Structure 1
Amino acid sequence: MAKNEINLDNLSVPGLQQLIEDAKAVLEGKKQGAKAQLIEEMREKAAQLGLDLGDLLKQPGPHTNVRKPRSDAGKAVAAKYRGPEGETWTGRGRMPRWLTDAMHHGKTKEDFAV
């Protein structure tokens, strides 16, 4: 706890807001000081090992787990299947209802191949 305790119940709304802003400023200053101290310690340890801190912190190129988009994404694709009433399906994405229903009645996808 701080040396000079503050009774928050006695502060007005503007007083509390000012206290919060002051506390945030002090916190930010302490964070910056701790960061600078940590960097200096790491520099010293790296120097003891004969290394450069910058080389240690360099990261390899950006690595993401995002899949690369398909080369043919967004292009029109020819239909592979045609339904009894002229519906078509390219064979990509979710199977259409007309084909699912037909398969439940004993048909196969190859029966509708174009």
Structure 2
Amino acid sequence: MTMLDFDLDAMPLGDLKKLQTQVNTAIKTYEDRHRKAAIAELEAKAAEMGFTLSDLTGAQTGRKAKVNPPKYRNTEDLTQTWSGRGRQPAWIKDALARDESLDQFLINK
């Protein structure tokens, strides 16, 4: 492969910016292709030895679900917890309707 000769000084600004965008995209896709090829090679080697790549690294493959630790616990049923994010569970709604404080359900006070 040969290096293309460009007279960058003679190019209009619009063409330079377009070229810059194309180069940035080419670099990113190059890195992505090589990263995927490396992962595929490592997965194949791990499979050859009877493992998955996640078995060896302890990492989960694919998208990881972010887990929020529980912040509140139902004092009447200790198996019910809530992280404080998302929709309030019924036991929290019921307690708040009875004018109880959310603080009384905190796990770490």
In which range does the TM-score fall when normalised by the shorter chain?
0.3 to 0.5
Whose Rg is larger? 1
Q: State the TM-score, normalized to the length of structure 1.
A: 0.46
Q: State the TM-score, normalized to the length of structure 2.
A: 0.48
